[in-house]
Amino acid sequence: KQEVTQIPAALSVPEGENLVLNCSFTDSAIYNLQWFRQDPGKGLTSLLLIQSSQREQTSGRLNASLDKSSGRSTLYIAASQPGDSATYLCAGGGNTDKLIFGTGTRLQVFP
Amino acid sequence: NAGVTQTPKFRVLKTGQSMTLLCAQDMNHEYMYWYRQDPGMGLRLIHYSVGEGTTAKGEVPDGYNVSRLKKQNFLLGLESAAPSQTSVYFCASSYSEQGFETQYFGPGTRLLVL
């Protein structure tokens, strides 16, 4: 059964820092990997989707990579801003299986 | 464009009471999902639907029922609420199968069962 782990559980950084959030999964047969953002009391917003044929995706200051052989994905946030403060969740899925979510990394960026 | 909406936003129930959570999407998506989110456990899939008139069980379906009578609506029912069902419930939808396309989430329903 696929299990998804996110480390660290919480992270606090000063504005302007580049940071990396980690996501690891137990089953290397993962087909795709998604990163979501969740603001307090709100639903999830999809940030990036990496499909099986891809190794990374970029959107603005965000870059996500997927290494299926090592069972890891990373979300890189460049030049962090206070507005980036949120919980970031990764979710992996097999070819026909449903998405399995990690428990998230709670990020705080202070001015 | 409202996206995915959920009704109600917050509800308090007594043990044994029943209720229905409503999810509506205006994006003409075929796939719809119900999740629950609990502290330290991530999101878990309760039930899902791959099209109007179809439903299927997810990871944690016990104690819940669903219906998809109209393509745009997905209802989650609790027949006899239990304190273990205290959670935040999220509805989501996608154009195609989960994982292949971006999922769009509603704002959530906070449910407290006393």
Percent over 70 (pLDDT), chain A: 96
Distances (CA, A) of B6 to A40, B43, B67, B82: 17, 17, 15, 21
Taking CA–CA distances from B38, the nearest residue in chain A reads: A103
Record: contact A42-B98, CB cut-off 8 A: no
Confidence of residue A23 (pLDDT cuts 50, 70, 90): very high
pLDDT tens track for B17-47: 999 999 999 999 999 999 999 988 889 999 9
Record: contact A43-B59, CB cut-off 8 A: no
Work out the number of other CB atoms within 10 angstroms of the CB of residue B35: 29
Cis peptide bond N-terminal to B83, omega within 30? no
Question: Nearest 5 degrees, angle CA B50-CA B56-CA B57?
Answer: 140
Confidence of residue A95 (pLDDT cuts 50, 70, 90): low
Which residues of chain B make contact with A102, given a CB cutoff of 8 A?
Answer: 42
Beta strand ranges found along chain A (DSSP E): 4-7, 10-14, 19-25, 32-38, 44-50, 56-59, 62-67, 72-77, 86-93, 100-101, 105-110
Q: Taking a C-beta distance cutoff of 8 angstroms, is the pair A15, A80 a contact? A: yes
Q: In terms of pLDDT, which residue wins out, B2 or B67? A: B67
Work out the number of other CB atoms within 10 angstroms of the CB of residue A35: 24
pLDDT at A37 over 60: yes
pLDDT at B97 over 70: no
Record: contact A91-B43, CB cut-off 8 A: yes
Confidence of residue A31 (pLDDT cuts 50, 70, 90): confident
Q: Taking a C-beta distance cutoff of 8 angstroms, is the pair B108, B23 a contact? A: no
Residue A48 has, within 13 A of its CA and on its CB side, a CA count of 23
Mean pLDDT computed over A5-25: 94
Mean pLDDT computed over A83-95: 89
The four Cα atoms B108, A4, A83, B24 give a dihedral, to 10 degrees, of: -20
Confidence of residue A98 (pLDDT cuts 50, 70, 90): confident
Task: Give the residue carrying structure tokens 């999220």.
Answer: B90
Which residues of chain A make contact with B98, given a CB cutoff of 8 A?
Answer: 93, 98-99
- Interfacial B residues in 6-65 facing A (CB < 8 Å): 40-45, 48, 58-59
**Partner residue opposite B45 with nearest CB, options A31, A89, A98:** A98
Say what the pLDDT of residue A32 is. Answer: 83
